[in-house]
Structure 1
Amino acid sequence: MTTTTYLRDCDLRGDYRSDRSDVVADLYVPALRAADRYDRAVGYFTASALAVLGEGLNHFTERGGTMRLVASPYLQPDDIAEIESGYALRTVLEKAALRDLERAVQDPRAAKGLGKLGTLIAEGRLDIKLAYVASGNRVGMYHEKIGLFRDAHDLVAYKGSANETLSGLVGNFEAIEVFRSWDDRDRERALRISRDFDDLWHDRTPMLRVMPFTDAATVIIERCAREAPDQTSADEVPANGAPISITPQDSAGMLTIPAELRFRGYQKEAVKAWITNQGRGIFRMATGTGKTLTALAAATQLGKALRGQGQPLLTVVVVPYQHLVDQWAADVTWFGVTPVRAYESTDSWYRRASHLLDALALGAARGGVVITTNKTFGEAAFQGVLDRYRGRLLLVADEVHNLGARHLRTVLPESASFRLGLSATPERWFDDEGTAALTGYFGDVVFEMGIGDAIRAGALCRYSYTPVVVELDALETELYVEVTEKIAKVLVTQEFTDEADDDSPLGALLRKRANILGHARGKLDAIREQVAKRHDDWYQLLYCAEGRHPLSYEDGVPDEPTQLDQALDLVGNQLRMSAARYTSETPRSERKEVLRRFTDRELKVIASMRCLDEGVDVPAARTAYLLASSSNPRQFIQRRGRVLRQAPGKQRADIVDFIVVPPEDATWIRRETERRMVRRELTRVTEFAHLADNEAETLDILRPLRIRYGLLDA
């Protein structure tokens, strides 16, 4: 590989015009090969340009080059309206810049550029700032376009019409003037442009304001790099039934940690603990702390060790839902392997999985990854594929508690030499047998990272907690007492197996009692009051109870809308706030659009049920309303973690929890039944309040309730 030592050796001309030169090949690539520093101020900046710069940026990165970028986001009419309405200017500008970046990476050629951006940011060698016009009451776009390449001795400055975009560098007709410091005719112009850039960078330019953007960009760049779409489908099978050819990359099949990925200390500790435990164990890690990437790092280290012994490794990842298969697939692809996605019809994945197994058996591949859903994993077709495999197998279970259900734990492959379970809450609620089966198969918890530790480590954001007390009405209270008495009877019967699967008698009763609390009709007035207080806020999640109110049926026909429908009517029609539903019945394409609109501030509220509990990334969410009052710790811990994920500009989250209690005048209820109901609710409150910024305030709010029921110790 030939490199150029200095800028003056690059044979750079004084101008470049699209009709007689290739701006990328003739200017950018050779200059970046020689430069130690690159400064760019431009009207628009998008990541797709980095894919076009190609080899030059590779050399620049490898040689330790540093970059400073100043850009101006494109402000849409809605952005201008928000600014005029008094929204924080910094927030609007960041949102617009992140929106530009999100759209840019839809070009598949952007993936490599994002990787380079991530590397430079992670190593502290790239800073990005946003510039905007601020003159009087006017806010506008900064539209200048200048750039500077520097080495140890010389400077090359340029200015012209090209934006740092894919179309600007390749598709448009552009002209650039270049000024070289070693040329007497250019020196003064080059130095003046350099001074202009330094004044801009340090916010010394009249009429302009410049603010940092690197931290905000880091999150989106890392995520978009992982989610960049493949240029070919991972599940594509030739229509003629011909064997799938194995490319050199597929033939390796070895996971490789991306160069730009930087792990936190606790993630490294988790991998070390699992390896030390002979490749078995469970990671109990809070939602949002990076369980997926930690698991892939562990699988990568294991694969390297086995490669040294000449043994290939098949990794099978089992997840609860189809959308999680796709999320895992994006991360696995980032680690250098195209996975087999096994869900829906057998025809869509069986042939590809079989070819992978053949390649491993014949030594044509050293590794491979199959990602499947719990449902497909438990079916005969998938189990048949696993039975055929005789090599080294790693089973990774995301949300591992789900595999403790009787119909799944009985098909866990004993042939898996290596086993890794992931969950914030691996214990199964009211199912000691299922929990024991999980630890018996996967091993004990080898690493734990709770929400408190994650907040202190900066992996999750801080939060405030607001409990809102809601009373059951008389009919709800009567039904609650009736169901509770039935639960007590089941618990003492000889036939009770200590298992609370949904289809068991105990599971059905527990679900019905939770529905009574979750659907308490008093919550609708309470939610109206709470949402109205935050009418102008964005990024709000509304967790509703599943199904319908247990008392809403007349002659077997529901006579009132679901809680979710009533909540959407309240928020959307009565309070006039933009809102949408996100449920398991929502088509997958619509779910993605709902999340996009939520992130882009086109929707203020998403109303959901269980669909957002496990695995869905909604880092932008700032406020969560917990209408569904399940006492299952897994549910409320996951819902809390969902809103604590870090995001650009997000400092803290707000959790509003609706606490259900018996009516004060229900003197006919057994005192102990009342106390147990309230104690169950306070268990969640205590857990949430303990780590909240306003713990003392929360405890004061609920002190009268504790005194009333003699629960000061709860």
Structure 2
Amino acid sequence: MPELLTSWDPKWKRRYNSPPDNLIDGFYSPALIRSHQYDRAVGFFSSSLLAAISPALDTFVSNGGTMRLITSPANLSDEDLEAMGKGELFKAKLQDDLQSEIYRSIPSAVQLDRLKLLTWMVASGRLEIRIALREHADHYSLFHEKIGVFTDLAGNWMSFSGSPNETVGGACKHSESFPLHRSWASEDQKAYAEEERDRINDVWNEQIDGVKTWTVNEWIEDPMQLSFGVREPKVQYSVKKQFRRTFLPPIEEADVLVNLPFERISLVPRLPEKLELHDYQRNAVNKWLVAGGRGIFAMATGTGKTITALAGATQASLHAATNHRPLLILVIVPLIDLVHQWRKNAEWFGFRPVVCHGNLNKAEQDALKAAFSAVRSAHAQRSEMVITTAGSLTPLGRSNPSDHFLQRQLARHNGSLLVIGDEMHSLGTQDRIDALPKAPSFTLGLSATPKRYGDEEGTAALLRYFGDPVVTIDIKDAIYTYKTLVEYDYYPIRIDLTFDEAGEYRKLSARIAAAYAGNDLQTAEKLIRFRNRLKQHAINKLSRLRELMRSGLKDQTHQIIYVAEGRHPESDLGQLDQVEQLLRNEFDMKVARYYGETSSDQREALQQSLARGDIQALLAMKCLDEGVDIPSVRVGIITASTQNPRQFVQRRGRLLRRDPNSPKSHAVIYDFIVLPPLTNGVNLESEKTLIGAELSRSAELADAARNREVLFDIREWAYHYQLDPEKYTWMELSGQEPMQEWIP
């Protein structure tokens, strides 16, 4: 872990004089590699100084460091400024002067490499530059103040002021001197350091009458990229995170409110008075804090991941506020429904979340800009939260991130940032990983299923970004230890293919085997998808559903029935249509569709209708797989499911949530298991793999049920197809390695 400003040995000097002091090796470089932020107000600035102190600059940036620079234009004199007057022509001249200086630069090979890093810092918002000028009635003059502030992660800072400009000449060639004031050294030094820090903040925020500033990053970014190119810091990503450890306060201090009133509204959140965190939630937050605000909550559905994450975000906000560093919290969720759930919970904690999804209108864009603007000051006690969907965060196709409204705001943010990925497994595609903010201050991933099914690279990328799991709570813990979920009965229902379906199934299996034999993997995968559709839409599913309804389910309420997507490959009939017609026409049941085309308002109304019993069942495809809370549900019928463990784990979690308004003793899950015919006592290997995966899913669901004895039926089906768990280890019938749990 890199040292802090307070741990430098030999001790920082009270005054630096050049000569004899080497300001680069003895001051700038050691200060930079120990800092998280560098603020500089200076009369003249040259990029050659930052180039000279690399690789300290690489380390500074890799550690999450950000820099703010206030300077005067290098090529304009007071006489030039007085002649130029004020207005848009002056602004255009200022922009032209900056761009011309960049285009005229002819750096050496070493300088070019380091200027590429500066270009990356500008483009990513890690270096924000403002031009400052003294304002008069009809013209401007040069800004000559010289203040620098280095701040570390523990909130220590030191300031210097006086002689040197931010140039190589100022640091090396000329005779320069300045005093150094450290916030931790003594009360007198802290008072000086605080005054200088406040001064630079006031100039930055244009709170000084007679000083005008212009943010110039947009003016210089393209010229810098064209002239110098871009490179990222050379220190590896894993090093970027190692320094963030143990500075966050423990959860026991979460009720301490740092309050900056604004119209009687706190700008820093706190734990709600009526919130009682479970011990496992408190333990999860503390472990995340000890890990430096980095890691994953691998917690079963229903264990309160959202509330636990908000408790952690509250502590991060408190830490930032006590160190006068505003915090931006970016929450990324997979579905729009979850945006609104997060907003409701966040407001309970005192956050003022701004939501961002879909095409933003002018008012929504202004609200988002205001949230980012509010955390730009480095001296404020406040937190801002932005809640968005993964799709809204990710630029489409190969579009330029700078053309993406939210990405553009994130690129300009140079302060503390906490990224929370809810259902983080949904962020594992390459486009979405690329869209995540680079090197945030803190990261928190949430998921009952952190592993991405069939995607080891995506899983590894998410672990690199969010960190390792700091807590793991599986479904059995949630049901039987912490009792946050209700117990359930599980009934696997065998579905046999019809004669015609069985014949088609065998033909497809033979063609799949031939494709594999010929190493034609593309054809094999296409045929497997076709065979899966045949299985998903098996006709006998309707017959068994009819039998279930006749057995008494037709009179019950609070049901969810999961149906297959798409249509039958032969009849072209959709299972959703068939199930809806069967329940309405044959049993006069009150049912409603809940699928992709259902609007957010309609979904909310349907959930309430189901809870009241106005409708008996929701017919769903995938929209009830992740994050949606419908605790009133008591019966689940899974007529179709993929082999992706995440899907059936999430579906089970929807059914087991406790209902505070109408407590339920347990839930019931009926699971349709489609099995192919056994021809001449032998099945092809590709069929055995499919059967094993289907039975593995069923065994996983049975293992945590209160009627766990159904595992014996599943084993009998396995042996019927000559699948020996000792030989086919991928069946996972032992129940020793639950699929939904993260196994470190």
- Give the Cα–Cα distance (whole angstroms) in 2 for the partners of residues 489 and 390 of structure 1: 57
**Structure 1 SS opposite 2:534:** helix
State yes or no: 1:622 paired with 2:634: yes
- Give the Cα–Cα distance (whole angstroms) in 2 for the partners of residues 685 and 463 of structure 1: 14
Residue in structure 2 matched with residue 690 of structure 1 by the alignment: 703
Whether contact under 8 Å (1:250, 1:337) holds in the other structure is no
Once the two structures are TM-superposed, the CA of residue 510 in structure 1 deviates from its matched residue by 6.2
Q: Which one of 339, 343, 349 corresponds to residue 364 of structure 2?
A: 349
Residue in structure 2 matched with residue 377 of structure 1 by the alignment: 393
Residue in structure 1 matched with residue 277 of structure 2 by the alignment: 263
- Give the Cα–Cα distance (whole angstroms) in 2 for the partners of residues 479 and 249 of structure 1: 70
Read off the aligned partner of 1:584 and give its amino acid letter.
G
State yes or no: 1:295 paired with 2:309: yes
CA 1:327–1:594: 2 relative to 1, 3 Å = same
Residue in structure 2 matched with residue 524 of structure 1 by the alignment: 542
Read off the aligned partner of 1:459 and give its amino acid letter.
T
- Give the Cα–Cα distance (whole angstroms) in 2 for the partners of residues 276 and 506 of structure 1: 49
**Structure 1 SS opposite 2:426:** helix
Whether contact under 8 Å (1:481, 1:673) holds in the other structure is no
Once the two structures are TM-superposed, the CA of residue 346 in structure 1 deviates from its matched residue by 2.5
- Give the Cα–Cα distance (whole angstroms) in 2 for the partners of residues 369 and 505 of structure 1: 47
**Structure 2 SS opposite 1:686:** helix
- Give the Cα–Cα distance (whole angstroms) in 2 for the partners of residues 407 and 709 of structure 1: 41
Whether contact under 8 Å (1:249, 1:337) holds in the other structure is no
CA deviations 1:351-386 (Å, max 9, x no partner) are 211112111113566110000011111132211111
CA 1:350–1:383: 2 relative to 1, 3 Å = same
Structure 2: gaps spanning 5 or more residues: 1-259, 396-403, 726-732, 734-744
Read off the aligned partner of 1:435 and give its amino acid letter.
T
- Give the Cα–Cα distance (whole angstroms) in 1 for the partners of residues 312 and 525 of structure 2: 35
- Give the Cα–Cα distance (whole angstroms) in 2 for the partners of residues 628 and 390 of structure 1: 47
Once the two structures are TM-superposed, the CA of residue 446 in structure 1 deviates from its matched residue by 1.3
Residue in structure 2 matched with residue 454 of structure 1 by the alignment: 478
Structure 1: gaps spanning 5 or more residues: 1-245, 497-503, 553-557
Residue in structure 2 matched with residue 394 of structure 1 by the alignment: 418
Listed as ranges, the matches of 1:380-459 within 5 Å are 380-456=404-480, 457-459=482-484
What's the TM-score, normalizing by structure 2?
0.58
Once the two structures are TM-superposed, the CA of residue 257 in structure 1 deviates from its matched residue by 1.1
Listed as ranges, the matches of 1:89-238 within 5 Å are none
**Structure 1 SS opposite 2:303:** coil
Q: Which moved more, 1:389-398 or 1:372-381?
A: 372-381
**Structure 2 SS opposite 1:611:** coil
- Give the Cα–Cα distance (whole angstroms) in 2 for the partners of residues 545 and 590 of structure 1: 21
Whether contact under 8 Å (2:321, 2:380) holds in the other structure is no
Residue in structure 2 matched with residue 662 of structure 1 by the alignment: 676
**Structure 1 SS opposite 2:385:** strand
Once the two structures are TM-superposed, the CA of residue 614 in structure 1 deviates from its matched residue by 0.6
Whether contact under 8 Å (1:465, 1:655) holds in the other structure is yes
- Give the Cα–Cα distance (whole angstroms) in 2 for the partners of residues 251 and 311 of structure 1: 19
Q: Which moved more, 1:698-707 or 1:458-467?
A: 698-707
Once the two structures are TM-superposed, the CA of residue 489 in structure 1 deviates from its matched residue by 8.8
Once the two structures are TM-superposed, the CA of residue 475 in structure 1 deviates from its matched residue by 4.8
State yes or no: 1:314 paired with 2:328: yes
Q: Which one of 544, 551, 563 corresponds to residue 570 of structure 2?
A: 551
Once superposed, what is the RMSD of the aligned Cα atoms? 2.7
**Structure 2 SS opposite 1:585:** coil
**Structure 1 SS opposite 2:485:** coil
Whether contact under 8 Å (2:698, 2:714) holds in the other structure is no
CA 1:511–1:643: 2 relative to 1, 3 Å = farther
**Structure 2 SS opposite 1:448:** strand
Listed as ranges, the matches of 1:26-41 within 5 Å are none
State yes or no: 1:361 paired with 2:376: yes
Once the two structures are TM-superposed, the CA of residue 663 in structure 1 deviates from its matched residue by 2.1
Read off the aligned partner of 1:518 and give its amino acid letter.
Q
CA 1:669–1:369: 2 relative to 1, 3 Å = same
CA 1:625–1:336: 2 relative to 1, 3 Å = same
CA 1:492–1:450: 2 relative to 1, 3 Å = farther
CA deviations 1:381-422 (Å, max 9, x no partner) are 211111010001011111101100121111211131211111
State yes or no: 1:284 paired with 2:309: no
State yes or no: 1:537 paired with 2:559: no
Residue in structure 1 matched with residue 354 of structure 2 by the alignment: 340
CA 1:341–1:526: 2 relative to 1, 3 Å = same
Residue in structure 2 matched with residue 107 of structure 1 by the alignment: none
CA 1:378–1:488: 2 relative to 1, 3 Å = farther
- Give the Cα–Cα distance (whole angstroms) in 2 for the partners of residues 279 and 674 of structure 1: 46
- Give the Cα–Cα distance (whole angstroms) in 2 for the partners of residues 365 and 509 of structure 1: 59
State yes or no: 1:609 paired with 2:595: no
Whether contact under 8 Å (1:359, 1:365) holds in the other structure is no
Once the two structures are TM-superposed, the CA of residue 515 in structure 1 deviates from its matched residue by 2.9
- Give the Cα–Cα distance (whole angstroms) in 1 for the partners of residues 681 and 332 of structure 2: 49
Residue in structure 1 matched with residue 687 of structure 2 by the alignment: 674
CA deviations 1:235-272 (Å, max 9, x no partner) are xxxxxxxxxxx981698532211100111111111111
- Give the Cα–Cα distance (whole angstroms) in 1 for the partners of residues 517 and 390 of structure 2: 32
State yes or no: 1:589 paired with 2:601: yes
Whether contact under 8 Å (1:251, 1:365) holds in the other structure is no
Once the two structures are TM-superposed, the CA of residue 667 in structure 1 deviates from its matched residue by 4.0
Read off the aligned partner of 1:679 and give its amino acid letter.
G
Whether contact under 8 Å (1:661, 1:677) holds in the other structure is no
CA 1:386–1:517: 2 relative to 1, 3 Å = same
Whether contact under 8 Å (1:523, 1:627) holds in the other structure is yes
**Structure 2 SS opposite 1:527:** helix
**Structure 1 SS opposite 2:546:** helix
Once the two structures are TM-superposed, the CA of residue 473 in structure 1 deviates from its matched residue by 3.2
- Give the Cα–Cα distance (whole angstroms) in 2 for the partners of residues 495 and 251 of structure 1: 64
Q: Which one of 584, 590, 614 corresponds to residue 572 of structure 1?
A: 584
**Structure 2 SS opposite 1:419:** strand
Residue in structure 2 matched with residue 468 of structure 1 by the alignment: 493
Q: Report which of the two structures shows the higher radius of gyration computed on alpha carbons.
A: 2
Q: Which moved more, 1:567-576 or 1:670-679?
A: 670-679
Once the two structures are TM-superposed, the CA of residue 338 in structure 1 deviates from its matched residue by 1.8
**Structure 1 SS opposite 2:669:** strand
**Structure 2 SS opposite 1:349:** helix
Once the two structures are TM-superposed, the CA of residue 551 in structure 1 deviates from its matched residue by 2.5
Once the two structures are TM-superposed, the CA of residue 455 in structure 1 deviates from its matched residue by 0.3
Once the two structures are TM-superposed, the CA of residue 615 in structure 1 deviates from its matched residue by 1.0
Q: Which moved more, 1:251-260 or 1:396-405?
A: 251-260
